[in-house]
Amino acid sequence: FGEGRLVLVDPMTLRKPAASVLAKVVAHREAVLQALNQGAATLQAVGIEPPLDRASLFEFVDGHRMRIKLDDHRLQPEQLQQNILDEPDRYSPSAALRPIVQDAVLPTLATLGGPGEMAYLWQVDLIYQVMQVRRSTLWPRSSATVVDDAIAETAGRFGLTGAGLLDAPAHLTAYDSAMFSPPPPASSDLDQLRATSVKLRELMRGIQPDVPASSSQRADRAIEYHTQKLIRLVTETRLARLGKSKGDLGRVVAAIRPHGKPQERTANVLEFIARYGWSWIDQIINEIDPTVMQHHLVRMTPTDT
């Protein structure tokens, strides 16, 4: 971990030391399943939907991964335990058991997880007791949204600065071009257009006795509709020149919530490296304090490196 280096562990190298743990899971399978169900009930009691519905093992057979259900009445536990110990490379844990195996075979100081991961790590807490494994400390992973100078400047035109930039989706939903109309004299011609439309409709009502009522009403509605449509079009065009159109705000929203999801759920790390250069890794490490339990907004400046 010195100088920013990350050590990766090939899980295949852990199969042999994990074999005794998996064999013990099979030996205590009923208690393990009961612990998982109790964990689910605990989450439900506080309004969290349990993410795990089973604890199982996997066996590799002819290149295919086959699930071994711990509650399968056909299971022969003694034989399975021996198979695991004899051929450890063939067996691996499911998501419910993976944290327990990790903490049993590695000197794990802390386990980082997002909201979904934390939920299932809480759910398997009692399995640690069944397996007599000391669990590592749980720590929520840092959460951040990254924006560049252009997006931050565009958001600023809408009064969205600092953490307020994250409110952009709500502002887009409530967007009304009238809120950002250019002040006079830039809007004086549109005021004249509105006044002319009103005058024309008044003239139409003056000749109403000489035309069918339905025709007069259609003409009145058409004048109002097309006048308002033209005003919106002109307003949007002028706001676009100022960088304050609905499309501009939409680009801000697309940057911080791509495809309507949090950026960190959809963006790939290589995307940020391509955009900001390798130095973005050091920048974001310096910007984010992992001890602060809040969502971070990180402003980045693209580089040529």
How far is the first Cα of the chain from the last one, in angstroms, to the nearest whole number?
24
pLDDT given at position 303: 61
Are 96 and 71 spatial neighbours (Cβ–Cβ below 8 Å)? no
Q: Which residues face 154 on adjacent strands?
A: none
Cβ contact 231:140 at 8 Å: no
Question: Do residues 237 and 246 lie in contact, with contact meaning Cβ atoms separated by under 8 Å?
Answer: no
pLDDT in tens, 80-119: 999 999 999 999 999 999 999 999 999 999 999 988 899 9
Q: Does residue 149 have a pLDDT over 60?
A: yes
Question: In this predicted structure, what is the pLDDT of residue 181?
Answer: 58
Six token digits for residue 105: 């075979």
pLDDT tens readout for residues 271-286: 888 888 888 888 888 8
* Alpha-carbon gap, residue 38 to 32, rounded angstroms: 10
Model pTM score? 0.69
Buried b (16+ CB within 10 A) or exposed e, 229-251: eebeebbeebbeeeebbeebbeb
- C-alpha to C-alpha distances, 65 to 47, 60, 62, 249, nearest whole angstrom: 34, 4, 8, 47
Is 177's pLDDT higher than 80? no
Closest-CA residue to 145 (of 20, 305, 300, 298): 298
